[in-house]
Amino acid sequence: MSELSALLEIALRAAAIAGETIMPIYASPFEVERKADRTPVTEADRRAELAMREFFARETPGFGVLGEEYGETPGDGRHRWIIDPIDGTKSFIHRVPLFGTLVALERDGEPVVGVISCHAVGETVAAAAGLGARLNGEPCRVSRVASLDDATLTMTSFARTAARRPLGYRALVERCGLARAWGDCYGYLMVATGRAEIMLDPDMSIWDAAALQPVIREAGGGFSQWDGNPALGDSAVATNGLLHNEVIRLLASDLA
């Protein structure tokens, strides 16, 4: 087994540990708190991240860890786990099963391993640089749809997307065959497995995006910020690759 394959297995196990922590809470009554930025958080977010951190400390003791709930634990300077225990906390709170756990491994500043684990629907997509992407262990690829007329567009928020790029939003919605708000990590899983062609997010943090980049790219798709910059940033668009340039062009309608 190669080093990256072994690290991917560790990432998968970490995501599974998060799921083992999260799902019993999901099925029970729980309290919702507000963080300083007014975003919601639950005991499931916190307990899952702590469980993942304990696992990483045992399995990869020299690696750093950056998580949404507990910040940064420095490591060797080369390797860093980047985790979001529950991506889609609002869905989790409302018992909508489209939330998931995100796990990425960054090496020398580049995400090389990514896992999207949507526990409530029983689907996990995992990828590592040069090793392809797999859905529940089986190879997966983006779709071959080459026309926006036949494309499915999904996004985390219609309102926030429209507010950030009103002309681009309208152009995409009007051009695409289907537009839905299957948001957060589940939308990216849909693109990686060929069930949607475009996923948009107007607001991203590094723990939201780091796992998505290797998954989408290893599945054969395109992943960038809305301006086409391939580096991780404060927005994200994932496509099947064939439509990427056209999507970026339409998103730029507001900048013309």
Instruction: Classify 30 as helix, strand or coil.
Output: coil
68 is in an annotated binding site: yes
Where helices occur in 38-104 by DSSP H, the ranges are: 43-59, 89-93
Q: Return the bridge partners of 200, or none.
A: 155, 237
**Mapped to the 3 state alphabet, what secondary structure does 66-82 carry?**
EECCCEEECCCCCEEEE
| Helix H or strand E encompassing 100 | strand 100-107
- Pick the closest to residue 43 from 26, 58, 56, 67 (CA basis): 26
- 219, 213 Cβ separation under 8 angstroms: no
208 is in an annotated binding site: yes
Is the sign of the CA dihedral 208, 210, 211, 216 positive or negative? positive
CA separation for the pair 38, 25 (Å, rounded): 22
87 is in an annotated binding site: yes
CA separation for the pair 178, 153 (Å, rounded): 6
49 is in an annotated binding site: no
Binding-site residues for Mg(2+) sit at 68, 84, 86-87, 208
Binding-site residues sit at 68, 84, 86-87, 208
